[in-house]
Amino acid sequence: MNTVKSANDEMNKFEFLLTLDGNIICQRYFFVRDHNPKTKRSMDLHYEVKNICEKISEDLKIKSSNFLVENQDIFFNTEYVEDPNERDEQYFLLQIKHLDDVFIERIFAAHYYPPKVRYTVDIRPMLKRVLNDLTEILSLKRPDMTYLQYQL
């Protein structure tokens, strides 16, 4: 099997990066065969990145609910309750890069979730599907390039 990478492979190398306040949660490189450069500004990609963030948020909501039910006893003791005034706002940042150039990113709140949940976020079960969907969108022949009747 030939494992030598060509210059074309490097041109089609993308990076998926999810961070929490600058700390890497997940970083994956993936290749897109027949990449269409127009897709970087397409509505298809915008909706996909939005959908990924919503899936992560939904997963965190479920895990938060489970955490709160399992640990409801400790919340009766005010010593363990997080003071909302002292809580720093934290954010997840999802970026898609091509050749070290961030061409789409989305930020969403992390401080809504309990610390034990937000610091243990795990997107590995959905990662293969996410990367496959991104690969498919980035190689579309005819991406949706209109938003509110404007050409992107």
- Tens digits of per-residue pLDDT, 93-136? 999 999 889 999 999 999 999 888 999 999 999 999 999 999 99
Determine contact, residues 51/130, Cβ cutoff 8 Å.
no
The yes-or-no verdict on residue 77 having pLDDT over 90 is: no
The yes-or-no verdict on residue 82 having pLDDT over 70 is: no
Tokens standing for 139? 């190689």
DSSP state for residue 32 in the 8-state scheme = -
pLDDT of residue 76: 63
Q: What gap in Å lies between CA 109 and CA 47, rounded to an integer?
A: 18
Strands (E), the chain: 13-20, 23-31, 91-98, 101-109, 146-147, 150-151
- Tens digits of per-residue pLDDT, 36-76? 999 999 999 999 999 999 999 999 999 999 988 888 776 66
Determine contact, residues 27/13, Cβ cutoff 8 Å.
no
Compute how many other C-beta atoms are within 10 angstroms of the C-beta atom of residue 121: 17
DSSP letters, 97-132, are: EETTEEEEEEEEE-TTS-HHHHTT---HHHHHHHHH
Tokens standing for 117? 């949940």
What is the widest separation between alpha-carbon atoms in the chain? 61
